[in-house]
């Protein structure tokens, strides 16, 4: 995809006073909460509201009241009914989960503490559409502490934690979301966030582009007051670049998905940990000696392969890009075509971002007991639709685990119906989400406070200085100490002593 290079802005990014380095600061926020919340419900996710083949009930706590939240009359303790969640009475449990998440999100909490006096988002009216988890709640409440008013919906019909949504509603955040929404519910919730008498959003925080698309389609006049869009997903960024290329993007947009801190940590390091967690929770399998094929050797694939190799698995890699393929070979993995190993492998993992990577033909040739799962953003990589045929039998084994049985008795183990494994079947490390959320918050602050003319109607990458700042905020957690350049060294390298230290084209 051709990208529009909008990163070479002639106006230098000036760091606000509150954005200071504190490499020598000792670790903060390390006190453990005195209350321990209940274990949250199973967390599941699909790529978008329309990419589901199963009923919502199969991914919803069976003990919950089945009455649609849209039909309930609920009020929080302050008497407000400007929200729609599954059960407002779950707020106390959600608050405990948020308190736990705060302990593993040091940068976001430090940002809240350091910037709330200056209120860099005072006057900002942010409408958001993301996964509503405890970590997202920490972000929303940080934005509120920095002066913003927020209204929120979920970007996915299965990714909401009902107790967290209840806690946000109880605290006064207008949130419209619950786990197991229908497609109609999904769009209704987004509309309730946007179409409010007397409230005009001026910033958008999106994950996947559905919110931006809805406003563009239904309320195009709203963009006259929108100062900027912040988008964090591959899908959403792709849609923004399409709008920009067609000359239809009418406000500046910040692509935080391709910021170094988001891509490296959220993709590489996060998946290196969560791939094993998701597989272990769903299958109780042992990894030593298992033959695994990982489709795609981008950041996600690299993380998955590293984890599986460390556990003693025999790992094969498929790739279309010769550079990524050569990296796989240099890292000690056997580069193959999927057809060459499909009959012998024990696990198939997709992480390409493409569609129909694993086809019905591949599924037919897999050996009995093969585990099939997806670690890519989209649930289009495995052709699950081709398995919805009369000759195949589906058996639900446990939450997000299905056996698909062929007429001869052969069965494969399909995880999360081909959706994102780590968020569907386990959890994502909170510390990683601290990095992502801090990046989102800084992008919102930058776009909202940018002087007239700095950002045009185009798609921009997060300024390198801010990317480095996000990383620096997390270093005190490890009691890490940065080396400082001397004046002579800085002059020799042609750098400012305070950064940025690498050009935009540098590949970390």
Cα 488 to Cα 191, 312, 481, 484, 494, distances in angstroms? 57, 48, 21, 11, 10
> What is the DSSP track for 428-470?
--HHHHHHHHHHHHHHHHHHHHPPTTSS-SSEEEPPHHHHHHH
Is 309 annotated in a binding site? The answer is no
Q: Are 192 and 70 in contact (CB under 8 A)?
A: no
d(CA 349, CA 374): 5
d(CA 209, CA 237): 8
Which spans in 119-263 are helix H? 134-145, 162-170, 183-194, 210-218, 234-245, 260-261
Is 494 annotated in a binding site? The answer is no
Return phi, psi of residue 114, to 5°.
-80, -30
Is 303 annotated in a binding site? The answer is yes
d(CA 21, CA 43): 36
Is 464 annotated in a binding site? The answer is no
With 0-12 / 13-18 / 19 or more C-beta atoms within 10 angstroms meaning exposed / middle / buried, residue 67 is: exposed
Is 300 annotated in a binding site? The answer is yes
d(CA 496, CA 490): 6
Return phi, psi of residue 72, to 5°.
-95, 150
Is 302 annotated in a binding site? The answer is yes
**Cα dihedral 86→92→93→96 (10° resolution):** 140
- Return the SS3 of 334: strand
d(CA 258, CA 268): 13
What is the phi-psi region of residue 264: left when phi exceeds 0, alpha when psi lies from -120 to 50, beta otherwise? alpha
Q: Are 376 and 351 in contact (CB under 8 A)?
A: yes
Is 453 annotated in a binding site? The answer is no
Is 207 annotated in a binding site? The answer is yes
d(CA 348, CA 350): 7
Is 262 annotated in a binding site? The answer is yes
- Return the SS3 of 412: strand
Is 468 annotated in a binding site? The answer is no
Neighbours of 147 (CB within 10 A): 17
Q: Are 302 and 338 in contact (CB under 8 A)?
A: no
Is 133 annotated in a binding site? The answer is yes
Is 379 annotated in a binding site? The answer is no
Token output for 346: 């024990």
Is 232 annotated in a binding site? The answer is yes
| 295 strand-pairing partners | 318, 350
Cα 223 to Cα 208, 220, 271, 453, distances in angstroms? 18, 6, 36, 17
Q: Are 144 and 122 in contact (CB under 8 A)?
A: no
- Binding-site residues from annotation for substrate: 133, 207, 232, 262, 266
Binding residues for NAD(+): 298-303, 319, 422
Residue positions forming the annotated binding site = 133, 207, 232, 262, 266, 298-303, 319, 422
């Amino acid at each position: 995809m051709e990208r529009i290079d909008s990163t070479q802005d002639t106006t230098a990014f000036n760091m606000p006073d509150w954005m200071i380095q504190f490499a020598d600061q000792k670790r903060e926020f390390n006190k453990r909460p005195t209350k321990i919340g209940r274990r949250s419900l199973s967390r599941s996710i699909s790529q978008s509201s329309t990419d589901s083949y199963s009923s919502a009930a199969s991914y919803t706590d069976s003990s919950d009241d089945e009455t649609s939240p849209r039909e309930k009359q609920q009020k929080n303790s302050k008497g407000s009914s400007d929200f729609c969640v599954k059960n407002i009475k779950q707020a106390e449990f959600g608050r405990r989960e948020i308190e736990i998440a705060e302990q593993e999100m040091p940068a976001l909490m430090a940002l809240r503490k350091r910037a709330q006096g200056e209120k860099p988002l005072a006057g900002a009216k942010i409408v958001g559409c993301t996964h509503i988890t405890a970590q997202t709640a920490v972000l929303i409440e940080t934005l509120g502490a920095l002066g913003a008013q927020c209204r929120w919906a979920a970007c996915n019909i299965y990714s909401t934690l009902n107790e967290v949504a209840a806690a946000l509603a109880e605290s006064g955040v207008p949130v419209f979301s619950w786990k197991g929404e229908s497609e109609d519910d999904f769009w209704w919730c987004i509309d309730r966030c946007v179409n409010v008498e007397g409230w005009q959003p001026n910033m958008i925080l999106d994950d996947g582009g559905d919110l931006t698309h809805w406003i563009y389609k239904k309320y195009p006049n709203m963009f006259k007051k929108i100062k900027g869009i912040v988008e964090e997903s591959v899908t959403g960024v792709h849609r923004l670049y399409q709008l920009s290329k067609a000359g239809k993007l009418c406000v500046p947009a910040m692509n935080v998905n391709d910021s170094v801190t988001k891509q490296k940590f959220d993709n590489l390091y996060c998946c290196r940990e969560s791939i094993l967690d998701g597989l272990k929770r769903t299958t109780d399998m042992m990894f030593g000696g298992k033959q695994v094929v990982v489709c795609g050797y981008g950041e996600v694939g690299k993380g998955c392969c590293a984890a599986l190799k460390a556990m003693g698995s025999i790992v094969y890699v498929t790739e279309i890009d010769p550079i990524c393929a050569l990296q796989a070979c240099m890292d000690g993995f056997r580069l193959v075509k999927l057809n060459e190993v499909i009959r012998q492998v024990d696990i198939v993992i997709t992480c390409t971002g493409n569609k129909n990577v694993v086809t019905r033909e591949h599924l037919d040739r897999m050996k009995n007991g093969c585990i099939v799962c997806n670690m890519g953003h989209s649930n289009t990589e495995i052709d699950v639709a081709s398995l919805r045929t009369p000759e195949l039998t589906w058996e639900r084994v446990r939450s997000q685990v299905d056996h698909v049985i062929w007429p001869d008795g052969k069965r494969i183990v399909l995880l999360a119906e081909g959706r994102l494994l780590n968020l569907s079947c386990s959890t994502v490390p909170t510390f990683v989400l601290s990095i992502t959320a801090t990046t989102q918050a800084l992008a919102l602050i930058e776009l909202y406070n940018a002087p007239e003319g700095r950002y045009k109607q185009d798609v921009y990458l997060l300024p390198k200085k801010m990317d480095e700042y996000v990383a620096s905020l997390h270093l005190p957690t490890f009691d890490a100490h940065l080396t400082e350049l001397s004046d002579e060294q800085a002059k020799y390298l042609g750098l400012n002593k305070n950064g940025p230290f690498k050009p935009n084209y540098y590949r970390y």
